[in-house]
């Protein structure tokens, strides 16, 4: 019982950190957001040795940015983490009801996030594609959490 409480507290803290991170990104203006995307893209490509420092590199970054590849990955990843952590924070036992409640909270939070961008994001807009990416990431995080903790519980039962 104590381990379950500790697990839920840790997931709650991680959920709050994730929500603060998402909200802080939403408050960035359009130019700052684009600069961050370019910096991240540069770091990823440098770390994976996927480019040489040429003018073509900057053309590739611009093309990827226009294609919204990095932004889509950011939306999916952040909301994946949110869904994964939130379901762990709110449920003692993972079941369909807790997964649905978690998904509804994630959907509402994604909608709130897009509204923040529209009204407080300094030139940014409400994007339905962002919402679908957020919802997909949330669903994926919830599903993976369910799979992992179902397997862990099966192993515990089998070892007893």
Within 8 A by CB and 6+ apart from 75, the residues are 130, 133, 134, 137
Share of the chain above pLDDT 70, in %: 78
Residues 121, 127, 130: CA angle, nearest 5 degrees = 100
Residue with more model confidence, 45 or 108? 108
pLDDT tens by residue, 115-157: 888 887 667 788 898 999 999 999 999 999 999 988 877 766 6
- Residue 95 Rama label (left phi>0; alpha psi -120 to 50; beta): beta
pLDDT at residue 133, as a whole number: 94
Q: How confident is the model at residue 70 (pLDDT cuts 50, 70, 90)?
A: confident
Q: How far is Cα 136 from Cα 73, in angstroms, rounded to an integer? A: 11
Query: Which range among 10-24, 42-56, 78-92 shows the weakest confidence by mean pLDDT?
Result: 42-56
């Amino acid at each position: 019982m104590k381990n379950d409480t500790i697990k839920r507290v840790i997931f709650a803290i991680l959920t709050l950190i994730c929500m603060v991170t998402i909200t802080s990104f939403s408050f960035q203006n359009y130019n700052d957001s684009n600069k961050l995307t370019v910096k991240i893209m540069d770091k990823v490509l440098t770390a994976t040795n996927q480019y040489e420092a040429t003018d073509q590199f900057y053309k590739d970054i611009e093309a990827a940015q226009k294609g919204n590849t990095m932004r889509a990955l950011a939306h999916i990843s952040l909301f994946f983490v949110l869904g994964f952590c939130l379901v762990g924070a709110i449920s003692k036992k993972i079941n369909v009801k807790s997964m649905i409640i978690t998904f509804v909270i994630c959907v509402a939070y994604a909608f709130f996030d897009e509204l923040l961008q529209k009204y407080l994001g300094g030139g940014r807009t409400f994007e339905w594609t962002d919402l679908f990416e957020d919802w997909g990431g949330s669903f994926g995080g919830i599903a993976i959490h369910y799979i992992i903790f179902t397997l862990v519980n099966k192993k515990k039962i089998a070892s007893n």
